[in-house]
Amino acid sequence: MSAGIGTGLGLTVRGLTTLFDTPRGMALAVADVDLDVGPGEMVGLVGESGSGKSVTLRSIMGLIQTPGHVTGKVEWGGRDLVAMPAEELRRIRGSEIAMIFQEPMTALNPVLPVGLQLEENLVAHTRLNARERRARALELMNIVGIPAAERRLNEYPHQFSGGMRQRAMIAIALACSPKLLLADEPTTALDVTIQDQILKLLLDLRDRLAMSVVLVTHDLGVIAGTCDRMAVMYAGRIVEMGTVIDVFRQPRHPYTRGLLGSVPRAGAVRTMLSSIEGTPPGLTDLPAGCAFHPRCSFATDICRQERPPLQSLGADRKVACFHHDRVAAAEAIL
Amino acid sequence: MSVAVEKIGLYPRFRRLALPRTLISGAIIIGVSLLIAFFPALFAPYDPIAFDYKALLKGPTLAHPFGTDSFGRDVLSRVIHAYTIDMQIAVFATVGPFIFGTIVGAYVGYAGGLAEAIFGRVVDAVITFPFLVLVIAIVSVLGPGLGNMYVAVGIVGWVFYARLVAAEVKVQKRLDYADAGRVMGYTPMRIVFRHLLPNAITPAIVYWMTDMALAILLGSSLGYLGLGAQPPAAEWGVQIADGKNFMSTAWWISVFPGIAIVITGLGFSLLGDGLAQLMRVRR
């Protein structure tokens, strides 16, 4: 599926770069990220902690505050979200683009009833009156599968379980039927059975509401189970991109390969899980050349001197590695 | 087994009912004080400003349990009627600063940057001066009287509320739910006052209670100095001033209003303490 660049449909990110001015120097949190999300498409963004995936999402949404600084283009419906005046951006947030967070515990206001928080979104973006808002709130609670909605609307977040809180958060995000949902590790804080329910809910909503979803996670299993395409991030850059099937079948970046190798799989012979040696680099002093070379078993001299560009390999497949052929040809890890 | 489960189920319910003892005793003192303040005539045996030249400077007797002052006025009745003025001081001198300080603090805490820098200097300027001296200076410019006293206290007092609220809003605005509000496209006004403030106002409310105790002390100090309530109004500070020339012969004129100040101040302090305790438990 190719995203419609310039067609006004979907999200087109070009050269998104986010810098943080820290006492220890400029931290390059997101570097030159290109990303397309077509209508109704679910795109996964995966990487270790600190790889810049959450910051990418927050940069798209315009949530970066000083000392952070965002450059590049985030096109949504033909408009650039980065250059847009604050008031115009405010109108788009919550109505056309919504976002859900990792911790439903902290993303809901502890002192306001859930129903009121739901209706806040409608107050901000619609002209519905109190009765219509209440009706819409009930409808949303049903959509996300919260039972006893009538009673639940008057309860406070602490009276909700973790899974129910995330459902409520999703209901708030969906209030104005957004066309794009940015999900920042929506299932990380939940236990596995609830995780599965929430992901199924997201998939179901994507289909029913024709909504695009960007799903940030560090869990490859989540990506495999839900997304159409995926992008792998390392040290603020996208290092590999493609359809989920392609990337899982034949990873072409050593980092992706390492990630896949470190996941246990059902049905396979039990062996030692391979881990990626070393730790991700600090964002204020990235190594010269390819940021991954100190941890890479495929690295050669050129990797230490030059940064590999993100090159296209056929339709919808991109990789930033000089040795992607060798990586692809290496012994299968799955 | 089932008994144990029931006990666990009951325990939190039981604990929720157990209010801090300080809160209960504070609430009782302030409740009674308010009752007296609203209906002094129900409790006072005499007219507080009626002179009785047949009973000048009489010590405590059954007819005048707190004695009489130099004009023969019943000290008990004056102490009771003073509740009306002094409780009014406690509320009026603090409610303005509380509201204004909260609004300013919420704005400053959320906006940060230049607003915060300017606010910081204002706080420094106010805090460097002793509170009482500053208030006396303002009252002497505006002229004595209760109305001007409220203005004077208000000019200085809001700073403390603003500081508390600003600090709390600064913490709250970094939390996920504030980001969630921004992401939903709420206006900054809406985020600050509807979403952040309910989470940030607790310390200000607790301080408010303590501040009412301070306001009573300040009000009676100014009354004593002749800058607050004016004679012949019954006000504790005014009464203490009335009695200061008779301390060695008629101690009751000053001592009983003093005790009233102590008890009411204690009531507000206990109430504030109890509230703080309650909020801590809830968190």
If asked whether residues A203 and A168 sit together in one domain, one would say no
If asked whether residues A318 and A218 sit together in one domain, one would say yes
Q: Does A43 touch chain B (CB under 8 A)?
A: no
The answer to whether residue A204 sits within a structural domain is yes
- In a mutagenesis test of the B interface, which of A65, A109, A117, A182 is the best target, namely the one with the most B β-carbons within 10 Å? A109
The answer to whether residue A199 sits within a structural domain is yes
- Tell me the chain A residues in contact with residue B184 when contact means C-beta distances shorter than 8 Å: 93-94, 98, 120-121, 124, 172-173
Quote the distance between the C-alpha of residue B211 and its chain's center: 4
pLDDT band of residue B2 (cuts 50, 70, 90) is very low
Q: Tell me: the pLDDT tens digits for B55-89?
A: 888 889 988 999 999 898 999 999 999 999 999 99
Beta-strand relationship, A212-217 and A229-234:
unpaired
Q: Find the mean pLDDT for residues A138-143.
A: 90
- In a mutagenesis test of the A interface, which of B114, B177, B187 is the best target, namely the one with the most A β-carbons within 10 Å? B177
If asked whether residues A123 and A79 sit together in one domain, one would say no
SS3 B131: helix
Q: Does A109 touch chain B (CB under 8 A)?
A: yes
The answer to whether residue A104 sits within a structural domain is no
Beta carbons of A143 and A171 less than 8 angstroms apart: yes
Q: How far is A158 from chain B (nearest CA, A)?
A: 11
d(CA A6, CA A164): 38
For the entire predicted model, the pTM comes to 0.78
Domain boundary among A131, A150, A175: A175
Q: Find the mean pLDDT for residues A114-125.
A: 91
Q: Does A158 touch chain B (CB under 8 A)?
A: no
Instruction: Choose among A90, A107, A108: nearest Cβ to B185.
Output: A90
Cβ–Cβ below 8 Å for B184 and A91: no
Residue among A12, A17, A32 nearest A79 (CA): A12
Instruction: Choose among B180, B185, B187: nearest Cβ to A101.
Output: B180
How high is the pLDDT of residue A287?
A: 86
How many angstroms separate the first and last alpha carbons of chain B?
31
If asked whether residues A192 and A47 sit together in one domain, one would say yes
Q: Find the mean pLDDT for residues A14-33.
A: 90
- In a mutagenesis test of the B interface, which of A111, A125, A214 is the best target, namely the one with the most B β-carbons within 10 Å? A111
pLDDT band of residue B17 (cuts 50, 70, 90) is low
Top pLDDT among A315 and A6 is at A315
- In a mutagenesis test of the A interface, which of B16, B176, B189 is the best target, namely the one with the most A β-carbons within 10 Å? B176
- Tell me the chain B residues in contact with residue A94 when contact means C-beta distances shorter than 8 Å: 183-186
How high is the pLDDT of residue B282?
A: 54
Task: List phi, psi (to 5°) of B62.
Answer: -65, -40
How high is the pLDDT of residue A1?
A: 41
- Tell me the chain A residues in contact with residue B198 when contact means C-beta distances shorter than 8 Å: 109, 111-112
If asked whether residues A24 and A74 sit together in one domain, one would say yes
Residue A317, number of CB atoms within 10 A of its CB: 18
How high is the pLDDT of residue A2?
A: 43
Longest CA–CA span in chain B (Å) reads: 78
Q: Find the mean pLDDT for residues B195-215.
A: 91
- Tell me the chain B residues in contact with residue A124 when contact means C-beta distances shorter than 8 Å: 184-187, 190
* Strand (E) or helix (H) holding B52: none
Buried-exposed string A302-312: b where 16+ CB fall within 10 A, e elsewhere: ebeeebbebee
Cβ–Cβ below 8 Å for A124 and B186: yes
Q: Does A98 touch chain B (CB under 8 A)?
A: yes
Residue whose token pair is 């590695």: A321
Beta carbons of A240 and A256 less than 8 angstroms apart: yes
Domain boundary among A175, A205, A227: A175
Cβ–Cβ below 8 Å for A120 and B180: no
pLDDT beyond 50 at B8: no
Residue A109: closest C-alpha in chain B? B177
d(CA B122, CA A52): 40
If asked whether residues A266 and A193 sit together in one domain, one would say yes
d(CA A307, CA A310): 9
The answer to whether residue A4 sits within a structural domain is no
pLDDT beyond 90 at A134: yes
Q: Which domain holds residue A70?
A: 11-96+178-329
Residue B175: closest C-alpha in chain A? A106
Domain boundary among A158, A175, A192: A175
- Tell me the chain A residues in contact with residue B187 when contact means C-beta distances shorter than 8 Å: 90, 124
If asked whether residues A70 and A212 sit together in one domain, one would say yes
User: CATH number for the domain including A231?
Assistant: 3.40.50.300
Q: How far is B172 from chain A (nearest CA, A)?
A: 10
SS3 B41: helix
If asked whether residues A229 and A253 sit together in one domain, one would say yes
Instruction: Choose among B179, B180, B199: nearest Cβ to A111.
Output: B199
pLDDT beyond 70 at B245: yes
The answer to whether residue A6 sits within a structural domain is no
Q: How far is B188 from chain A (nearest CA, A)?
A: 10
The answer to whether residue A101 sits within a structural domain is no
Q: Find the mean pLDDT for residues B143-154.
A: 88
DSSP secondary structure letter of residue B68: B
Quote the mean pLDDT of chain A.
87
If asked whether residues A36 and A185 sit together in one domain, one would say yes
If asked whether residues A211 and A321 sit together in one domain, one would say yes
Total count of domains within chain A: 2
Quote the mean pLDDT of chain B.
88
pLDDT beyond 80 at B257: yes
pLDDT beyond 90 at B134: no
- In a mutagenesis test of the A interface, which of B183, B189, B195 is the best target, namely the one with the most A β-carbons within 10 Å? B183
Sign of the Cα torsion B230, B234, B240, B246 reads positive
Cβ–Cβ below 8 Å for B183 and A93: yes
Instruction: Choose among A99, A110, A112: nearest Cβ to B183.
Output: A99
Q: How would DSSP label each residue in A67-106?
A: TEEEEEEEEETTEETTTS-HHHHHHHBTTTEEEE-S-HHH
How high is the pLDDT of residue A162?
A: 86
Beta carbons of B245 and B230 less than 8 angstroms apart: no
The answer to whether residue A137 sits within a structural domain is yes
Q: How far is A31 from chain B (nearest CA, A)?
A: 23
Q: Residue A28 pairs with which residues in a beta bridge?
A: A19
Beta carbons of A253 and A239 less than 8 angstroms apart: yes
pLDDT beyond 90 at A262: no
Q: Find the mean pLDDT for residues A258-265.
A: 82
List the helix and strand counts (H, then E) for chain A.
13, 12
pLDDT beyond 80 at A7: no
SS3 B248: coil
pLDDT beyond 90 at B159: yes
Instruction: Choose among A103, A111, A125: nearest Cβ to B176.
Output: A103
pLDDT beyond 50 at B4: no
How high is the pLDDT of residue A138?
A: 93
How high is the pLDDT of residue B15?
A: 53
Beta carbons of A190 and A162 less than 8 angstroms apart: yes
pLDDT band of residue B5 (cuts 50, 70, 90) is very low
Q: Find the mean pLDDT for residues B5-12.
A: 46
- Tell me the chain B residues in contact with residue A90 when contact means C-beta distances shorter than 8 Å: 185-187
**What is the share, in percent, of chain A residues with pLDDT greater than 90?**
39
Cβ–Cβ below 8 Å for B177 and A107: yes
- Look up residue B63 and give its two tokens: 């007819």
Q: What are chain B's domains?
A: 20-282 (1.10.3720.10)
pLDDT band of residue A3 (cuts 50, 70, 90) is very low
